[in-house]
């Protein structure tokens, strides 16, 4: 199974309503689009895109779904503070239902902790996932103890892939 972890793109500053109502900025929408184009170029084709319930993550997930396909579904535990152990259990259940690829969209520090927990069993692993950055993990729940980190790309790297892909394929 392929697990793609994406941090939400750039969002508005915190306002009077706090953190939960922050939407993507116009730049953030472009970042999410570039990330989606890059993931498409890399062959990512999710059955589901699981997202935090917070607006900026849902908007990022919707942009990705428009480019990659896959059904968007809210997963409460992707919202702060997150629960990597429960997330891994949910991913194992998805794999048992025949899903070969899932995208998780959420926030830091939760996603960095998820990646650390997934690959080492330790949420304290030092992972740096930028806004609109992504990580790719492979996992065979019945054949290996933990997922394997296959790649980790910053927003700028994903944009370079997207720009090259759009030049090659109009």
How much is the pTM? 0.93
Note whether 130 and 154 are within 8 A (CB): yes
Is pLDDT above 70 for 169?
A: no
Rounded mean pLDDT of the chain?
91
**3-class SS at 24?**
strand
Is pLDDT above 90 for 126?
A: no
Superfamily designation of domain 2-168: Phosphoglycerate mutase-like (3.40.50.1240)
Distance, in Å, from the CA atom of 46 to the CA atom of 100, rounded to the nearest integer, reads: 7
Confidence of residue 108 (pLDDT cuts 50, 70, 90): very high
Distance, in Å, from the CA atom of 146 to the CA atom of 167, rounded to the nearest integer, reads: 37
Is pLDDT above 60 for 150?
A: yes
Q: Where are the beta strands (DSSP E) in 54-169?
A: 71-74, 101-106, 134-138, 148-153
Q: What are the boundaries of each domain within the chain?
A: 2-168
Q: Give the pLDDT confidence score for residue 142 in this predicted structure.
A: 72
Is pLDDT above 90 for 16?
A: no
Q: Label the pairing between strands 134-138 and 2-7.
A: antiparallel
Going by C-beta distance under 8 Å and a sequence separation of 6 or more, which residues neighbour residue 130?
Answer: 7, 154, 155, 156
**3-class SS at 118?**
helix
Q: Give the pLDDT confidence score for residue 106 in this predicted structure.
A: 96
pLDDT tens digit sequence for 53-64: 999 999 999 999
Q: Where are the beta strands (DSSP E) in the chain?
A: 2-7, 48-51, 71-74, 101-106, 134-138, 148-153
Q: Which tokens belong to 50?
A: 């699981």
pLDDT tens digit sequence for 73-91: 999 999 988 888 888 888 8
Report CA dihedral (35, 119, 51, 89) to the nearest 10 degrees.
150
Q: Give the pLDDT confidence score for residue 143 in this predicted structure.
A: 67
Distance, in Å, from the CA atom of 91 to the CA atom of 97, rounded to the nearest integer, reads: 10
Mean pLDDT of 98-122: 92
Q: Which of 169, 168, 84 is nearest to 119 (CA)?
A: 84
């Amino acid at each position: 199974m392929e697990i793609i972890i994406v941090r939400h793109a750039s969002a508005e500053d915190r306002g009077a309503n706090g953190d939960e109502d922050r939407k993507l900025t116009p730049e953030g929408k472009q970042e999410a689009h570039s990330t989606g184009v890059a993931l498409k170029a890399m062959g990512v084709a999710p059955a589901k895109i699981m997202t935090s319930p917070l607006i900026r993550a849902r908007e990022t997930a919707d942009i990705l779904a428009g480019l990659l396909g896959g059904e968007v579904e809210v997963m409460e535990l992707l919202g702060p503070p997150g629960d990597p152990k429960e997330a891994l259990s949910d991913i194992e259940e998805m794999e048992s239902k025949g899903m070969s690829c899932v995208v998780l969209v959420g926030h830091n520090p939760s996603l960095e902790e998820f990646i650390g927990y997934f690959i080492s069993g330790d949420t304290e692993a030092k992972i740096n996932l930028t806004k609109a950055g992504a990580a790719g993990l492979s996992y065979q729940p019945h054949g290996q103890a933990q997922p394997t980190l296959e790649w980790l790309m910053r927003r700028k790297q994903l944009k370079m892939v997207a720009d090259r892909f759009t030049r090659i394929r109009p």
